[in-house]
A and B are shown apart, each in its own frame.
Chain A
Amino acid sequence: MKRNTRRHHYARRRYVERLMIGLMRGALGLAALALASLLLVILVRGVNALSWAMLTETPAADFYLGGGGGILNAIVGSLALALGAILCASLIAVPGVLYMHTYGKGTRHVAIVRLTLDVLWGMPSIVFGATILTVLLWLGLRTSLLAGILALTLVVLPILARTFDEVVRMVPTDLTQATLALGTTRLELARMLLRQSMPGLMAALFLAFERAIGDGAAVLFTAGYTNTLPRSLLDPVASLPLAIFFQLGTPFPAVQDRAYAAALILTVLVLVFGMFGYLALHKLGRHVIR
C-alpha cells in the first residue's frame, strides 16, 4: 500500500516535469513562430516596393500620392538623430556610471541614481517627446534635429547607463584592488575600469543605437518631418519610424507598400547594429582580462 502511493507520487512528479517542459517549449515555440511571421511578413511585403530609388533619393513632390522618389531623407535623418542622441547620452552616462563605481560606490546617492535610471528606462518615450515639445513652445522654437536629439537622449540615457553599469559591475574586484594597491587616485581607477569594460561599453552603445533609431514616439513632436535632407541642427528632420507610420496612414496602396519597404530598411539597420554590438562584446578588447 505504502509503496503504491510512493510510486504514484513519483509518477505525478514525472508528469508535472513533462508538462512543464511541454509548456516551456510551447511558449518559446510560440515566440519563435511570431518572430518568424514578423520577419517573413516584413521581408515579403517590403521587398516588393524596395528599389534603389528608395535608398538614394529624397521624396518627390507627389511622393505621398504614389509619385517618385525615396526615403533617403528619413534614413539620413534617423542616423543623424540616433548618432547625436548616443553622443549626448554617453557624455552623461559614461562618467556618471564610472562615478557610481569609484567615488560614489556604496553611497545612498548612487542607489538613488540607479533607481532614477530604472524609472527613466520604464518611462514611455512619448512623455519625453511631450516634455521637450513643451520646452520648445516656451522658448518659441520649432521642431528641429536638435530637439529630436534631446528627446532621444532621454530615451537612450537610461539604457546606455544601466547596461554600462552592469558591465562595470562585472569587472573583477581583483582589478580594483590591484589598481588601487599601486597608489592610484580614484580618477585613475575610473580610467582603468573604463579600459577593462570597453567591449561592454561598445556593446551598450550599439544596443542604445538600435533603440534610438527605432523610437518614433520621442521624435514625433520634436524632430518634425521634412522631405529634404537636414542641413543644420535647427532644421526639422525626417526619421524612419515616422516615415513608416505616415506612409501606412495614407489611403494609397502604393504608398503603403513603401511603408513596408521602409520597415524592411529599418529592420535591416537594427539587425546590423545588433550584430555589431554582439561582435563588439565578443571580439573586441585585446588587453581585457577575461
Chain B
Amino acid sequence: MRVGLEAFLLLSAVLFSIGVYGAVSKRSAVQVIMSLELISIAVMVNMVAFARFVTPDRGTGWAFTLFAMVVSAAEVGVGLALVLAIYRRRHTAELPELDELKG
C-alpha cells in the first residue's frame, strides 16, 4: 500500500480540528496552550509533506518548518510564563474566571 500527499493532508486536517476543539473548549489555560501546540504540529506535518512531494529539490518547506517551530516554541515559552504570572496574581488558571475584559 502506497500513500500520497492526500493522506498527509487528511491527517493534518484531523489533527488541526482536534486542536481547535481543545483550544475552544478547555477551561485550563495550560490545556489550551497544549491544544495550540497540536495545531502547530498539524501545520508542520502539512509543510513537510508539501516540501517532500511538491518541491523536493529546494528545501524551502524544511526551512519554514524550522521557523514555525521556533515561533511555536517561543509562543509556548511566553504563554506558559503568562499563565504562571496570572496564576500568581489571581491564584487561578481557569479561563472562565479570568473575565476582566467583561464589558
Q: Do A and B bind each other?
A: no
A residues adjacent to B (C-beta < 8 A): none
